[in-house]
Amino acid sequence: MTAPENNFISHLIELRSRILRAIVSVLVVFLCLAYFAQDLYHLLAMPLLATMPEGSNMIATDVAAPFFAPFKLTLVLSFFIAIPYVLYQIWGFVAPGLYKNEKNMVAPLLFSSTLLFYAGMAFAYFVVFPLAFAFFNSLELEGVLVSTDITSYLNFVLKIFFAFGLAFEIPVAIILLCWTGATNADSLRAKRPYVIVGVFVVGMLLTPPDVISQTLLALPMWLLFELGVIIGGLYSSKKQQQESS
Protein backbone atom coordinates (compact mmCIF):
# COMPACT_ATOMS: atom_id res chain seq x y z
CA MET A 1 0.00 0.00 0.00
CA THR A 2 1.42 3.37 -1.04
CA ALA A 3 2.02 6.31 1.30
CA PRO A 4 -0.88 8.41 -0.08
CA GLU A 5 -3.25 5.49 0.47
CA ASN A 6 -1.97 5.08 4.03
CA ASN A 7 -2.50 8.78 4.70
CA PHE A 8 -6.02 8.65 3.26
CA ILE A 9 -6.99 5.65 5.39
CA SER A 10 -5.49 7.24 8.51
CA HIS A 11 -7.53 10.40 7.85
CA LEU A 12 -10.69 8.32 7.48
CA ILE A 13 -9.96 6.51 10.75
CA GLU A 14 -9.39 9.81 12.54
CA LEU A 15 -12.57 11.27 11.04
CA ARG A 16 -14.57 8.25 12.21
CA SER A 17 -13.05 8.53 15.67
CA ARG A 18 -13.92 12.20 15.99
CA ILE A 19 -17.48 11.67 14.70
CA LEU A 20 -17.98 8.91 17.26
CA ARG A 21 -16.67 11.17 20.02
CA ALA A 22 -19.08 13.90 18.99
CA ILE A 23 -22.02 11.48 18.94
CA VAL A 24 -21.03 10.02 22.32
CA SER A 25 -20.83 13.53 23.81
CA VAL A 26 -24.41 14.22 22.70
CA LEU A 27 -25.60 10.88 24.13
CA VAL A 28 -23.84 11.52 27.44
CA VAL A 29 -25.52 14.91 27.80
CA PHE A 30 -28.85 13.33 26.81
CA LEU A 31 -28.54 10.63 29.48
CA CYS A 32 -27.78 13.29 32.07
CA LEU A 33 -30.84 15.35 31.09
CA ALA A 34 -33.33 12.54 30.34
CA TYR A 35 -34.56 12.41 33.93
CA PHE A 36 -35.49 16.10 33.72
CA ALA A 37 -37.23 15.84 30.33
CA GLN A 38 -40.67 16.81 31.67
CA ASP A 39 -39.26 19.78 33.59
CA LEU A 40 -37.33 20.96 30.54
CA TYR A 41 -40.46 20.87 28.42
CA HIS A 42 -42.38 22.83 31.05
CA LEU A 43 -39.59 25.42 31.06
CA LEU A 44 -39.80 25.65 27.28
CA ALA A 45 -43.57 26.06 27.42
CA MET A 46 -43.52 28.84 30.03
CA PRO A 47 -43.51 31.75 27.52
CA LEU A 48 -46.70 30.32 25.98
CA LEU A 49 -48.38 29.32 29.22
CA ALA A 50 -47.84 32.80 30.66
CA THR A 51 -49.84 34.39 27.84
CA MET A 52 -52.61 31.81 27.33
CA PRO A 53 -56.16 32.82 28.32
CA GLU A 54 -57.24 31.84 31.81
CA GLY A 55 -58.68 28.34 31.94
CA SER A 56 -56.94 27.12 28.77
CA ASN A 57 -54.22 24.48 28.67
CA MET A 58 -51.90 22.78 26.23
CA ILE A 59 -53.14 19.49 24.80
CA ALA A 60 -51.73 16.27 23.33
CA THR A 61 -53.51 15.01 20.21
CA ASP A 62 -51.25 11.94 19.94
CA VAL A 63 -51.39 9.25 22.61
CA ALA A 64 -47.57 9.04 22.76
CA ALA A 65 -46.94 12.79 22.55
CA PRO A 66 -46.60 13.36 26.34
CA PHE A 67 -43.68 10.91 26.30
CA PHE A 68 -41.97 11.65 22.98
CA ALA A 69 -42.24 15.46 22.91
CA PRO A 70 -40.16 16.03 26.09
CA PHE A 71 -37.55 13.47 25.02
CA LYS A 72 -37.31 14.99 21.55
CA LEU A 73 -36.69 18.35 23.18
CA THR A 74 -34.06 16.80 25.46
CA LEU A 75 -32.23 15.23 22.51
CA VAL A 76 -32.13 18.50 20.59
CA LEU A 77 -31.08 20.39 23.72
CA SER A 78 -28.31 17.83 24.28
CA PHE A 79 -26.95 18.59 20.82
CA PHE A 80 -27.06 22.32 21.52
CA ILE A 81 -25.17 21.86 24.79
CA ALA A 82 -22.59 19.57 23.20
CA ILE A 83 -21.94 21.96 20.29
CA PRO A 84 -18.66 23.30 21.78
CA TYR A 85 -17.24 19.77 22.03
CA VAL A 86 -18.54 18.86 18.56
CA LEU A 87 -16.84 21.95 17.13
CA TYR A 88 -13.69 21.06 19.04
CA GLN A 89 -13.64 17.69 17.27
CA ILE A 90 -14.07 19.40 13.92
CA TRP A 91 -11.26 21.78 14.81
CA GLY A 92 -9.01 18.90 15.85
CA PHE A 93 -9.54 17.24 12.47
CA VAL A 94 -8.93 20.26 10.23
CA ALA A 95 -6.31 22.13 12.32
CA PRO A 96 -3.27 20.06 11.18
CA GLY A 97 -3.92 21.10 7.59
CA LEU A 98 -4.09 24.83 8.32
CA TYR A 99 -1.35 27.44 8.26
CA LYS A 100 -0.52 29.33 11.44
CA ASN A 101 -2.38 32.49 10.37
CA GLU A 102 -5.39 30.36 9.42
CA LYS A 103 -5.39 28.68 12.83
CA ASN A 104 -5.27 32.10 14.49
CA MET A 105 -8.35 33.08 12.48
CA VAL A 106 -10.46 29.91 12.59
CA ALA A 107 -10.21 29.17 16.33
CA PRO A 108 -11.76 32.51 17.46
CA LEU A 109 -14.44 32.16 14.77
CA LEU A 110 -15.47 28.72 16.06
CA PHE A 111 -15.69 30.11 19.60
CA SER A 112 -17.60 33.23 18.59
CA SER A 113 -19.98 31.31 16.30
CA THR A 114 -20.95 29.09 19.26
CA LEU A 115 -21.63 32.10 21.48
CA LEU A 116 -23.62 33.82 18.75
CA PHE A 117 -25.76 30.73 18.18
CA TYR A 118 -26.54 30.57 21.91
CA ALA A 119 -27.25 34.30 21.91
CA GLY A 120 -29.73 33.87 19.06
CA MET A 121 -31.58 31.15 20.94
CA ALA A 122 -31.63 33.21 24.15
CA PHE A 123 -32.96 36.22 22.24
CA ALA A 124 -35.74 34.09 20.78
CA TYR A 125 -36.71 32.63 24.17
CA PHE A 126 -36.57 35.78 26.31
CA VAL A 127 -37.64 38.44 23.79
CA VAL A 128 -39.41 36.96 20.77
CA PHE A 129 -41.53 34.27 22.41
CA PRO A 130 -43.21 36.46 25.06
CA LEU A 131 -44.09 39.17 22.54
CA ALA A 132 -45.16 36.80 19.76
CA PHE A 133 -47.27 34.55 21.99
CA ALA A 134 -48.92 37.53 23.67
CA PHE A 135 -49.85 38.81 20.20
CA PHE A 136 -51.17 35.42 19.05
CA ASN A 137 -53.25 34.85 22.18
CA SER A 138 -54.68 38.36 22.06
CA LEU A 139 -56.45 37.50 18.79
CA GLU A 140 -59.54 35.93 20.30
CA LEU A 141 -62.06 34.31 17.98
CA GLU A 142 -65.60 33.81 19.17
CA GLY A 143 -66.29 30.17 19.96
CA VAL A 144 -62.61 29.16 19.70
CA LEU A 145 -60.79 27.81 22.75
CA VAL A 146 -57.01 28.26 22.62
CA SER A 147 -55.39 24.86 23.31
CA THR A 148 -52.00 24.39 21.67
CA ASP A 149 -50.80 20.86 20.88
CA ILE A 150 -47.52 20.09 22.65
CA THR A 151 -45.89 18.50 19.59
CA SER A 152 -46.87 21.37 17.30
CA TYR A 153 -45.54 23.84 19.86
CA LEU A 154 -42.23 21.99 20.12
CA ASN A 155 -41.76 21.92 16.34
CA PHE A 156 -42.62 25.61 16.16
CA VAL A 157 -40.15 26.77 18.81
CA LEU A 158 -37.35 24.54 17.49
CA LYS A 159 -37.72 26.15 14.05
CA ILE A 160 -37.54 29.59 15.68
CA PHE A 161 -34.46 28.58 17.68
CA PHE A 162 -32.67 27.40 14.55
CA ALA A 163 -33.74 30.50 12.61
CA PHE A 164 -32.45 32.93 15.24
CA GLY A 165 -29.36 30.85 15.98
CA LEU A 166 -28.36 30.84 12.32
CA ALA A 167 -29.32 34.49 11.83
CA PHE A 168 -26.95 35.50 14.62
CA GLU A 169 -24.07 33.90 12.68
CA ILE A 170 -24.08 36.77 10.19
CA PRO A 171 -20.94 38.48 11.58
CA VAL A 172 -18.98 35.23 11.30
CA ALA A 173 -20.13 34.74 7.71
CA ILE A 174 -19.14 38.30 6.78
CA ILE A 175 -15.71 37.98 8.40
CA LEU A 176 -15.10 34.72 6.51
CA LEU A 177 -16.10 36.38 3.23
CA CYS A 178 -13.70 39.26 3.88
CA TRP A 179 -10.98 36.84 4.99
CA THR A 180 -11.21 34.76 1.81
CA GLY A 181 -11.29 37.88 -0.36
CA ALA A 182 -14.76 37.12 -1.74
CA THR A 183 -15.83 40.63 -0.78
CA ASN A 184 -14.74 43.58 1.36
CA ALA A 185 -16.27 46.01 3.82
CA ASP A 186 -16.66 48.84 1.29
CA SER A 187 -18.53 46.59 -1.12
CA LEU A 188 -20.85 45.41 1.64
CA ARG A 189 -21.56 48.98 2.76
CA ALA A 190 -22.54 49.85 -0.80
CA LYS A 191 -25.06 47.00 -0.75
CA ARG A 192 -26.62 48.11 2.56
CA PRO A 193 -30.06 49.05 1.07
CA TYR A 194 -30.37 45.63 -0.54
CA VAL A 195 -29.29 43.95 2.71
CA ILE A 196 -31.97 45.78 4.69
CA VAL A 197 -34.65 44.62 2.27
CA GLY A 198 -33.15 41.12 2.28
CA VAL A 199 -33.19 40.71 6.07
CA PHE A 200 -36.88 41.62 6.20
CA VAL A 201 -37.60 39.11 3.44
CA VAL A 202 -35.67 36.45 5.37
CA GLY A 203 -37.53 37.42 8.53
CA MET A 204 -40.80 36.95 6.67
CA LEU A 205 -39.78 33.49 5.43
CA LEU A 206 -38.29 32.13 8.66
CA THR A 207 -40.80 33.37 11.22
CA PRO A 208 -44.57 33.06 11.71
CA PRO A 209 -46.76 35.36 9.58
CA ASP A 210 -46.87 38.27 12.01
CA VAL A 211 -45.07 41.61 11.89
CA ILE A 212 -43.67 41.30 15.42
CA SER A 213 -41.69 38.09 14.85
CA GLN A 214 -40.51 39.24 11.43
CA THR A 215 -39.26 42.56 12.77
CA LEU A 216 -37.64 40.99 15.82
CA LEU A 217 -35.60 38.76 13.52
CA ALA A 218 -34.87 41.34 10.82
CA LEU A 219 -33.56 44.09 13.13
CA PRO A 220 -30.93 41.93 14.89
CA MET A 221 -29.85 40.56 11.50
CA TRP A 222 -29.31 44.09 10.24
CA LEU A 223 -27.38 45.13 13.35
CA LEU A 224 -25.28 41.97 13.17
CA PHE A 225 -24.58 42.73 9.51
CA GLU A 226 -23.26 46.16 10.51
CA LEU A 227 -21.13 44.58 13.24
CA GLY A 228 -19.73 42.06 10.77
CA VAL A 229 -18.89 44.84 8.30
CA ILE A 230 -17.03 46.78 10.99
CA ILE A 231 -15.00 43.76 12.15
CA GLY A 232 -14.43 42.62 8.56
CA GLY A 233 -13.17 46.09 7.67
CA LEU A 234 -10.74 46.10 10.62
CA TYR A 235 -9.45 42.67 9.65
CA SER A 236 -9.03 43.67 5.98
CA SER A 237 -7.06 46.78 7.01
CA LYS A 238 -4.82 44.72 9.30
CA LYS A 239 -4.26 42.14 6.56
CA GLN A 240 -3.32 44.84 4.03
CA GLN A 241 -0.84 46.38 6.47
CA GLN A 242 0.81 42.99 7.03
CA GLU A 243 1.06 42.35 3.30
CA SER A 244 2.51 45.81 2.58
CA SER A 245 5.11 45.44 5.32
Spatial distance between the Cα atoms of 207 and 228, rounded to a whole number of angstroms: 23
Please tell me the pTM assigned to this model: 0.80
In angstroms, the CA 29 to CA 155 distance is: 21
Residue 100 belongs to a domain: yes
Number of domains in the chain: 1
Whether the CB-CB separation of 81 and 170 falls below 8 Å is answered with no
Query: What was the pLDDT predicted at 243?
Result: 52
Residue 47 in any domain: the answer is yes
Counting Cβ atoms within 10 Å, is residue 239 exposed (0-12), middle (13-18) or buried (19+)? middle
Question: Is the residue at 38 inside a domain?
Answer: yes
State which residues form the domain around 121. 3-168
Q: Say which residues have a Cβ less than 8 Å from residue 160's Cβ, sequence separation at least 6.
A: 124, 128, 129, 207, 213
In a domain, 212, yes or no: no
- Note whether residue 174 is domain-resident: no
Each residue of 202-234: pLDDT tens digit?
A: 777 766 666 776 777 788 888 888 888 887 777
Most confident listed range (73-77, 89-93, 106-110, 237-241)? 73-77
Show the CA angle centred on residue 171, arms to residues 236 and 232, nearest 5°: 10
Query: Residue 92 falls within a domain, yes or no?
Result: yes
**Domain assignment of residue 88, yes or no:** yes
Confirm whether 196 is domain-assigned.
no
Mean pLDDT in residue range 132-155: 78
Q: Tell me the C-alpha to C-alpha distance, in Å, between residue 95 and each of 19, 56, 119.
A: 15, 53, 26
The single-letter code of the amino acid at 7 is N
